[in-house]
Structure 1
Amino acid sequence: MAVSLIRLGLRSVAFNLERSAVIISSSSAQNQFKLFHTKPVCQNGVCYLQERGEELETTISVLRRYSKHHGRPEEDRRKRKQGQDSDSDSDSDSDTECKTLERSEFWRRKMRTVHNILDVDKDGLISFNDFVLFGERFKALGHLDDNQAKEFSDIIKLTWEEQWGAIDPYNFVTVEQYLEDMHHVLNDKTLKKKAHRWLPYLFKAVDKDKSGFISVKEFKLFYQCLGLDNEHAAVAFAVIDINGDGKLSMKEFVKLGKDFFFTEDESRVSKMFWGPLIEI
């Protein structure tokens, strides 16, 4: 009888121990489940996980993510123009387009010049905010109607997203990355056609009298929006106005703007379009 009672007592103790273990294990699992599935609350780069009314603080190290075409898949980024050279590009009638993997130093100087222009705040990097400020300069002239101004803003945003990906405060484009990006754009037939669709809006923005042509005086407005002075505008206009009629049509303006990016021919007058080239 005594032996039976002892055995019964031991079984009871073992059962209670197992039950306690299950409860503890279950509680721990629930806590862990709750921890992993609790939605974080983030403020000023610091995220908090709410656990039983207490805040478990986790500091997030915010790194600048320099643009590396992260708006496009990796395999698409690395795609070269192999297999595309046989296709003609109706957007440009230049017979000196860059079709090789290596670009000339002349072309690189031109791209550095444009990077400097688009770097409106002059911090050495292009951001979406620079793109917005660039557009605001032209819209501030007051020559675009409401619909044109909205279309211009939409195209600026779309161009950024297609070429440089995410719109966020930490997405920047360095000079070298801009060179690489533009090399990729010009080797991609689809992107190439879209890359400079905002040029007509620059023309309309400086066509003050809405005549369909811009004079040297209106071309100076263009250079002012680029952050360049009137002297450079007068010199450039005299060079690019090949027929000497004192005016540029939209077709001439857009062609010059595109040709600046497409050609490596140093004799082309389009090299003057975006102002004096940056010295190395």
Structure 2
Amino acid sequence: MALSIVRLGLRSVINFERNAAVISVTSVPKQLKLIHTKPACNGSVCYLADLPRDRELRSDRGSALRRYSKHHGRPEEDRRKQSDSDSDSDTDTECKGYDRTEFWRRKMRTVHNILDVDKDGLISFNDFILFAERFKSLGHLTNQQAEEFTSIIKLTWEEQWGAIDPYNFVTVEQYLEDMHHVLNDKSQKKRAYRWLPYLFKAVDKDKSGFISVHEFKLFFKCLGLDNEKAAVAFAVIDVNGDGKLSQKEFVKLGKEFFCTEDEKKVSKMFWGPLIH
């Protein structure tokens, strides 16, 4: 009888511990059960699969960081770092830093106004073509040069503003923002002025390799500006006073206009009077 009582007591203790263990396992919160995940293998590499909650957090964080530029397709934060690290190394330009002065913004608004050939307040691909046609219509470019010029104008639009579409417009503020990023990126900044040599060749009427004040007036005429403004601008940018500009001088002035923020530079006159 005593032996039976002892066996019954031991069985009760064992059953109690077993039940306690079951209760403790089933009462564990569901989220804690997810700590142990099934490993996934890819070839010779195995790893623990992400927790659903971790994937949500990572996805949310990624969405917050993925602020893509409309045209360049890089995260905004990465693009900013890239721009700062790749600032212009040319000795004759000053494309540096991330902030821009109001003086520089006035210059970019001036160029936007010039490229807006139909004066509707927006730049379109059609404006680009009309701009190129003004210079080609002077008749001073060879057929090959004219074709190259058109190709560069087309390439510049596609690289910087995307599709050639009649409804693809560039506002003033968008132009300023895009030019800011382009000029701060060493790999892209040539877009801003790679077509300048063709403008020079188009107005170099006698093909001397230099342009006089009279030929500079052709340049301003194609920009939609009058002769008086051309004469004033030429007098300012012809620093050595020899009455002519070489292609090297012309291109340097054009590049400097886009890049420098020094108001003392004569290049500020290159595209005519600055607008507000």
Q: Per-residue deviation at 1:88?
A: 5.3
Q: Per-residue deviation at 1:74?
A: 4.3
Q: Provide, for residues 51-105 of structure 1, a one-character-per-residue CA deviation record: whole Å limited to 9, x for no partner.
A: xxxxxxxxxxxxxxxxx96443142796125575466523x523xx242222100
Query: What is the aligned counterpart of 1:127 among 121, 124, 129?
Result: 124
Q: 1:231 to 1:77 in 2, by over 3 A?
A: farther
Query: What is the aligned counterpart of 2:165 among 160, 168, 172?
Result: 168
Instruction: Report % sequence identity.
Output: 76
Paired position in structure 2 for 1:116: 113
Paired position in structure 2 for 1:226: 223
Hey, what's the Cα distance between the residues in 1 that align with 2:149 and 2:226? 24
Structure 1 runs of 4+ with >3 Å offset = 68-71, 81-88
Paired position in structure 2 for 1:183: 180
Q: Provide, for residues 94-141 of structure 1, a one-character-per-residue CA deviation record: whole Å limited to 9, x for no partner.
A: 3xx242222100000000000000000000000000000000000000
Paired position in structure 2 for 1:80: 80
Q: Per-residue deviation at 1:196?
A: 1.1
The TM-score, its normalising length taken from structure 2, stands at: 0.72
Alignment of 1:144-223 (within 5 A): 144-223=141-220
Q: Determine whether 1:255 maps to 2:241.
A: no
Aligned-partner residue type, residue 274 of structure 1: W
Secondary structure (helix, strand or coil) at the match of 1:172 reads: coil
Count of residue pairs the alignment pairs up: 209
**Uncovered stretches (5+) of structure 1, i.e. residues with no partner:** 1-67
Asked if 2 retains the 8 angstrom alpha-carbon contact of 1:69 and 1:164, the reply is: no
Q: 1:174 to 1:226 in 2, by over 3 A?
A: same
Query: What is the aligned counterpart of 2:103 among 95, 103, 106?
Result: 106
Asked if 1 retains the 8 angstrom alpha-carbon contact of 2:140 and 2:204, the reply is: yes
Hey, what's the Cα distance between the residues in 2 that align with 1:70 and 1:106? 25
Asked if 2 retains the 8 angstrom alpha-carbon contact of 1:69 and 1:77, the reply is: no
The answer to which of 264-273 and 189-198 deviates more is 189-198
Asked if 1 retains the 8 angstrom alpha-carbon contact of 2:83 and 2:186, the reply is: no
The TM-score, its normalising length taken from structure 1, stands at: 0.71
Aligned-partner residue type, residue 250 of structure 2: F
Aligned-partner residue type, residue 108 of structure 2: M
Hey, what's the Cα distance between the residues in 2 that align with 1:205 and 1:139? 7
Q: Per-residue deviation at 1:152?
A: 0.2
Q: Provide, for residues 205-228 of structure 1, a one-character-per-residue CA deviation record: whole Å limited to 9, x for no partner.
A: 000000000000000000000000
Asked if 2 retains the 8 angstrom alpha-carbon contact of 1:69 and 1:163, the reply is: no
Q: 1:234 to 1:126 in 2, by over 3 A?
A: same
Hey, what's the Cα distance between the residues in 1 that align with 2:106 and 2:87? 27
The answer to which of 151-160 and 73-82 deviates more is 73-82
Q: Provide, for residues 216-265 of structure 1, a one-character-per-residue CA deviation record: whole Å limited to 9, x for no partner.
A: 00000000000000000000000000000000000000000000010000
Paired position in structure 1 for 2:36: none
Q: 1:85 to 1:204 in 2, by over 3 A?
A: same
Hey, what's the Cα distance between the residues in 2 that align with 1:221 and 1:231? 12
**Uncovered stretches (5+) of structure 2, i.e. residues with no partner:** 1-67
